[in-house]
Structure 1
Amino acid sequence: MKKTMLRWVICAMTASPLLSVAQSTEPTPNSHSSLFGGGGMNYRTFSIGINGGITAPSVLIGGSNDFTKSLISYGYGAYAKWQILHFFSLRADYMGGRLKGDQSRELGDGSKPNRAVESFETKLKWTASLSGVFNFATINWAYRKPIAQLYASVGGGLAGYSPTIKPAGGTETDYKTDGNIQELIIPVGAGIKFRLNDFMNLDLGYTMNFTDGDNLDGFKYGTAKDKFSYGYAGLEFALGSRTKPQLQWHNAPAVMYDDLAAQRDRLKAELDAANANNAKLAADVAKLQTDSDGDGVSDIFDKCPDTKAGDKVDGSGCPLPKPEVVKPPVQVIITDDDRRLVRNAIDNLEFETGKSNIKPKSYASLDEVASLLTRKNLSLKLAGHTDNTGNRALNMRLSKDRAESVKAYLVGKGVNPSRIEATGYGQDQPIATNKTAAGRQQNRRVEFTIY
């Protein structure tokens, strides 16, 4: 099954470039009845598709399930689609396959996961869903006929599956003894489609399926619901008469361009017939283009014909209001009382042990600093420091987090965040010896510098 499906996908992808080049020289399709398309009388609106590809018990947005490693497996599917507008369709999908995963990947700290189940394999017997598909970027101006389109889809449905799990140190067993599990799913996907010819398209896509439960892998670990993904390649076949174009490839901008070009040609012919006196027409055009004051607005439309050179004007040729001259900022003097207020905040600042959480007893003095900064529009530099106890990298991060914590508190009190600079120096700038408890206490600090 896997080898047959793989050969089918490789053949389809190999044929795609050749067929795309061949179709790009085809003539413009039949005339369209409306700008945005619609109506089964002029287009083929129904199609079916088959596909095959790979599955995984993880998604690009949302991560994996309850196992540390998602294993690649296979899947297959088919769908029927109704194209309502050239950019929107309804698609009914069926999909089946298998999903695999185990606990072989190490955790973030380098340790092996110690979980009750070490691997699983789920037989995805079927999924049935109905999705809305939105087409965009389907324009190819070079040949006036789209050869590729991007699409996105979202919908809802139901999945039926049966997981088999292998407990740690045990043998494989069925997760549920009563057979199939059925749960709601929300499929969200995207892909690219290539028009191979007038009745067949190459479809490359990726779908993320979010289930309404935590049974997909037969193991409940944490509170997150399970999900799985399906990346596929397939063929889509349009149903109906081959004399009609596919609605999904209808090029609305090209139709609009043709209509406007036809109107332009018709109006030009009428204008040429109505203006036999070419000399008068040339004089009128010259008058229309005359701009005596050089402001970019023709004299006919210029309500202020004597604009000074270099002045910026509006659509009627009148000068725009000139920007007000910004006065230099008033210099603010930092007083001794201001500095005492800041020193008081430094002396009263305390954090939870080994954390960046500010203790409530420090709030009052920090509120006074926030009031000073906003009242006098001052700037503040925060420098976080630690003693040399513990890991240097952790100390550097802790000092930075504590400075950022003070900044966040002051910003929450209305201080402009661009006026505060928060920096962490770790254990590299002690002001006392680290050999005594008193010295280490002095080194654990956040310095305030106002300017």
Structure 2
Amino acid sequence: MKKTMLRWVICAMTASPLLSVAQSTDPAPNKHSSLFGGGGMSYRTFSLGINGGVTAPSVLIGGSNDFTKSKVGYGYGAYAKWQLLHFFALRADYMGGRIQGDQSRDLGNGRPPGRDVESFETRLKYTATLSGVFNFASINWAYRKPIAQLYASVGGGLAGYSPRITPPGGSETEYKTDGNIKELIIPVGAGIKFRLNDFMNLDLGYTMNFLDADNFDGFNYGPSKDRFSYGYAGLEFALGARTKPQLQWHNGPAIMYDDMLAQRDQLRLELEAEKNNNAKLAADVAKLQVDSDGDGVSDIFDKCPNTPAGDRVDGSGCSLPKPDTARPVQVIITDDDRRLVRNAIDNLEFETGKSNIRPKSHASLDEVAALLIRKNLSLKLAGHTDNTGNRALNMRLSKDRAESVKSYLVGKGVNPSRIEATGYGQDQPIASNKTAAGRQQNRRVEFTIY
């Protein structure tokens, strides 16, 4: 029953880190600034280690086994490690060696205790364990590549061993006839690791091994189960391309802090550039609005500066001819004339975002030119746009389109003094600008004959 419960504990303990990794690992493989991982494609995550050291049938937490004196033995081991996050790894360990002790230390009465077994020596054939390794103190704001880190580990697995015992005054014998015992084992360890270079690390550690049995020393004495310790020194070798750093030395928070500073500086540059752009745009708009002679035409488009106050001007800012009041002329505009003008309006099209008249509109404009020449009529052209884009640019586009129609008609022989071209921009819509159809209606040039 106890062994079954212990197996469940080991399974839960080893599965929990895997579940955590599945939820936390960064899926982007090429991000070096990730806080928790960094991606398997950017860092070396697999490593192999070898170690050797001393053993004892006692641990720092939990005391010793059934013998009063712990003798120093020797141990050796190797492991394969998979670094899943910069602070967590899975490690598969193998360990072997010798553990020994005796009853030579007295318990305070001046002589050693009288017990059925005088000494033991256990040959540890193997321990096969899987542990979770947690790195600590790897965050250093002054150094982006720490040179040392503390770690702790806990896991579970299986141990195979054969104890040999010596009774008082007797000779050494096998504790078990076949010499082979297999029991569950829980290793709990801690250590410090030094980064020698991007390929190799120095590993100094101490592991307490707790067995699910009281037969490791061949002597069942007392209620507690057996345990032993292993203090070691070893080397760890990172696998993979040497151009990639080791993930376990990845200082995620420090690198993320650097990225945040870089993003802050970039944002400041973008805000400064936007401020400069806004200032330039404001200056351009102010320049467009300057009208020194007050004739309603901006100085940029005014071809006749200093027009007398009160004069009516055309689209280029030049004064229109004064009407001849001495001999009034009666102008008769028929329904056919109005229909011809409406047809020209309906067929008038420009290049997108430009003031160039498309060739398909020329025929109807030619008819308007002929009408103006034949009846000596005057024409007012009013350019309009929708509200898409900058107001000042829309005003300029509407004015340019009205002027473009005027230039075409003048080119066909119409008296330029008979044509008035004005731009109103987006200020006089005839439909809603919230729909595409409405905006299409608002992009127009109105013809008014008189």
Question: Per the shorter chain, which TM-score range?
Answer: 0.5 to 0.7
Aligned position for 2:128: 128
C-alpha contact 1:70 1:102 (8 A) present in aligned 2? yes
SS at match of 1:160: strand
1:70 aligns with 2:70: yes
**8 A contact 2:55–2:229 mirrored in 1:** yes
Q: CA RMSD in A?
A: 1.8
Structure 1 window deviating more from structure 2 (70-79 vs 267-276): it is 267-276
- Distance in 1 between residues matched to 2:108 and 2:38, nearest whole Å: 53
Deviations 1:312-332 (A, max 9, x none): xxxxxxxxxxxxxxxxxxxxx
Residue 215 of structure 2 is aligned to residue 220 of structure 1: no
Matched with 2:242 is 242
Q: Tell me, in whole angstroms, the C-alpha distance in 1 between the residues paired with 2:35 and 2:212.
A: 41
Whether the 8 Å contact between 2:46 and 2:80 is mirrored in structure 1 is yes
Partner in structure 1 of residue 41 of structure 2: 41
The yes-or-no answer on 1:55 pairing with 2:52 is no
SS at match of 1:72: strand
Q: Is the 8 A contact 1:51 1:234 kept in 2?
A: yes
Supply the distance in 1 between the matched residues of 2:262 and 2:142 (Cα, whole angstroms): 20
Report SS of the residue matched to 1:260.
helix
Kindly provide the CA deviation profile for residues 331-380 of structure 1, in whole angstroms up to 9, marking residues without a partner as x.
xxxxxxxxxxxxxxxxxxxxxxxxxxxxxxxxxxxxxxxxxxxxxxxxxx
2:170 is paired with a residue whose SS is coil
Question: Shift in Å at residue 250 of structure 1?
Answer: 0.8
Partner of 1:258: 258
Q: In the comparison of the two structures, how many residue pairs are matched?
A: 248
What's 1:83 paired with? 83
TM-superposed deviation, 1:46: 0.7
Matches within 5 A, 1:420-439: none
Deviations 1:24-64 (CA, angstroms, capped at 9, x unpaired): xxxxxx97052221432111111100000000000000000
Distance in 1 (alpha carbons) for counterparts of 2:161 and 2:37: 40
Question: Match of 1:144?
Answer: 144
TM-score by length of 2: 0.53
State the AA in 2 paired with 1:45.
T
Q: Gaps (5+ residues) in structure 2? A: 1-29, 277-450
In the aligned structure 1, how far is the partner of 2:164 from the partner of 2:35?
53
Could you tell me how far apart the structure 2 residues matched to 1:129 and 1:213 are? 17
Q: Aligned partners of 1:117 and 1:183: how far apart in 2? A: 22
Letter in 2 for 1:77: G
Equivalent residue, structure 1, for 2:373: none
Which amino acid in 1 is paired with 2:153? Answer: S
What is the Cα deviation at residue 154 of structure 1? 0.3
Please state how far the C-alpha of 1:161 moved relative to its aligned partner.
0.8
Is the CA contact (8 Å cut-off) linking 1:120 and 1:217 kept in structure 2?
yes
Please name the residue that 2:188 is paired with: 188
Q: Distance in 2 between matches of 1:244 and 1:208?
A: 34
Q: Which amino acid aligns with 2:118?
A: E
How far apart are 1:169 and its partner, in Å? Answer: 1.4
How far did residue 146 of structure 1 move? 1.2
Distance, in Å, in 1 between the alignment partners of 2:52 and 2:176 is: 28
Do the aligned residues in 2 keep the contact of 1:38 with 1:84 (CA within 8 Å)?
A: no
> Which residue of structure 2 aligns with residue 391 of structure 1?
none
The answer to whether the Cα contact below 8 Å between 1:67 and 1:103 also exists between their aligned partners in 2 is yes
Paired with 2:140 and 2:195, the residues of 1 have a C-alpha distance of: 12
Q: Does 1:96 align with 2:96?
A: yes
Closer/same/farther in 2, CA of residues 59 and 264 from structure 1, 3 Å limit: same
SS at match of 2:254: helix
Q: Which amino acid aligns with 1:141?
A: W
Confirm whether residue 162 of structure 1 aligns to residue 162 of structure 2: yes
Unaligned runs of 5+ in 1: 1-29, 277-451
What's the offset of the Cα at 1:255?
Answer: 1.2
Aligned residue in 2 for 1:294: none
TM-score w.r.t. length of structure 1:
0.53
Structure 2: distance between partners of 1:81 and 1:273 = 50
Q: Contact between 2:31 and 2:38, CA under 8 Å: does it hold in 1?
A: no
Match of 2:254, as an amino acid? A
In structure 2, how many angstroms separate the alpha carbons of the residues matched to 1:203 and 1:124?
22
- The equivalences for 1:298-337 within 5 A come to none
Answer whether contact 2:135 2:149 (CA < 8 A) is retained.
Answer: yes
In 2: Cα distance, 1:189 partner to 1:109 partner: 35
Q: Which has the larger radius of gyration?
A: 2
Residue 205 (structure 1) shift:
0.4
Secondary structure of 1:257's match? helix
- Provide the C-alpha distance between the structure 2 equivalents of 1:201 and 1:112, rounded to a whole number of angstroms: 44
State the Cα deviation string for residues 84-111 of structure 1 (Å, max 9, x = none): 1111111000000000100011114544
Paired residue type of 1:150: L
